Amino acid sequence: MASILVGPARPAPAPGYGMAGPRTVPVDTLTRLGLTVAVLFLFSLSGGMLWLVGYNYDGLQGSALSKIHPSTYLFVLVFVWRSCTFGNPVGYAVYVTNKRPATMLMAVISTVLLFVVILRQRPGMAGMIDTFVAPALLVLLLSEDDEKTFARLQLVIHVVMTVNALLALFELGTKHLVFPYRFDGAVFVNDLRSTALQGHPLSNATVTSIYVLALLSGARSLSTSVRLALVGLQFCALVAFGGRSGMVLTVVLGGAYMLLSGLAQLRTGRVNLLGAALVIMLAALLPLAIALAGYYGFFDALLERFVSDSGSANARVEMFDLFRHLELRDLIVGPDVDLLDSMRRISGLEQGIENPVLRMTLYQGAFFTLLIFFGFALFMHEVARRCHTGIWLPMLGWLLLLNTSESIASKTTLMTKFVVIALALYRPVKGRSDSFLEPLPGRRG
């Protein structure tokens, strides 16, 4: 009788679903721990460090499984675990896709193109996974906006980057590389630039530059004095890494941001007295710091890097000449890899093609490049939308630095690191502003 009055019985919704669609399931402790450890591995395990434990990440020899960074494996495992704890793996995939559609699109595009690379037997299989799939998985996992997870990630970033900078300065002072960059175990003995925890000096310079810009316009959970101290430390580390593009870009963008931010705050008539006092004190001590740095030879490494570029500037000119030797069909679908490698060596480009768009077009073809950069553009836009105002500063720096090396056209973890820095350091904190000169609560300057 009751069934007649209320209608036929309906089956209970599957776990992870509600009457209005998928329901949220609180992030469990193991997922938080897995994400934290994965990000710790991402920022602290370089190829040189992995070589010491028998993991040949940066070379060509050895197992194909060792060409993928350990952090990527952890991201995959955490994603699988989280989809299971959600109650319905398919439901979890639909749930995160609805929250981050552009990210899922890039994951699908990069996965499809991964199989294309394998079928065509072209280089870059591990690159597609580490460079594009890993950051997409991370953004999907972070789409649930778990505050405890983001708090842990912020701590990991600040601690590891501080240790990274201190290690770089130690290597610069002692002329001894603790974890040198290796290729199939071989160390480049002529390159004494610091490698610290990030591995290659240019990777270090890129991550450090982005981190400095993020400290200037983001990282609201830190006090003004701590942010200023970290900016000074990280900029000193930039000299040790020898990345000219990173140093110039950090000075130009960072200096312009601080100047405009300071002028805008002064026009309001409200100034943080502590921040203003710190700026005045640093300005007074700056000449002394410059004199001491010059006395101890700190600028020698900087000047040497700008004078001697190991042919890097010439390589950026020669790489355009490769296109003259290719037919239209080769440009669309990609030329023969052996022929391209031969042409590259003849042109004196043994160190690589230092532009991601040109490099990927030459090796994979224009159609392949168009697809992957279409997904990349939508992905970057979606990441920026999830951050507070100020993200434009490191985003601009990131996009400019990308074009100074092969970067995302080869195997790299740089994009995953940028995503972590952007999403973790640009989460809004109530009562705190981007500017160093923001007034203290309840007080006027």
> Strand runs (DSSP E) across 86-189, as ranges?
182-183, 186-187
Closest-CA residue to 87 (of 5, 34, 12, 138): 12
What is the reported pLDDT for 295?
Answer: 54
Query: What b/e readout covers 171-199, taking b as 16+ CB neighbours within 10 angstroms?
Result: bbeeeebebbbbbeeeeeeeebbbbbbbb
For residues 110-131, give the mean pLDDT. Answer: 86
Q: How does pLDDT run across 367-379, given as a tens digit for each residue?
A: 989 999 999 999 9
385: pLDDT strictly greater than 60: yes
In this prediction, residue 20 has a pLDDT band, given cuts at 50, 70 and 90, of very low
| E strand residue ranges, 268-378 | none
- If you average pLDDT over every residue of the chain, what do you get? 81
DSSP assignments along 130-147, one per residue: IIIIHHHHHHHHHTT--H
What H or E segment, with its residue span, contains residue 184? Answer: none
- Chain position carrying tokens 């900078």: 165
Query: What digits encode the pLDDT tens for the residues 255-310?
Result: 888 888 777 766 776 666 666 666 666 666 566 666 655 554 555 555 555 444 44
Tokens, residue 25: 């399931």
pLDDT of residue 60: 82
3-class SS at 182?
strand
Distance CA 334, CA 372 (A): 14
DSSP state of 438: P
Tokens standing for residue 403: 């074009």
Own/partner contacts of 337-340, CB < 8 Å, gap of 24 or more, are: 337/122, 337/123, 337/363
Rounded Cα gap, residues 197 and 204, in angstroms: 8
The domains of the chain are located at 24-310+351-425
3-state secondary structure 22-91: ECCCCCCHHHHHHHHHHHHHHHHCCHHHHHCCCCCCCCCCCCHHHHCCHHHHHHHHHHHHHHHHCCCHHH
Task: Provide φ and ψ at 42, rounded to 5°.
Answer: -60, -45
Token pair 């160390």: residue: 187
Q: Is the pLDDT of residue 381 over 90?
A: yes
The more confident residue out of 404 and 28 is 28
| pLDDT of the residue at 287 | 67
Between 289 and 183, the more confident residue is 183
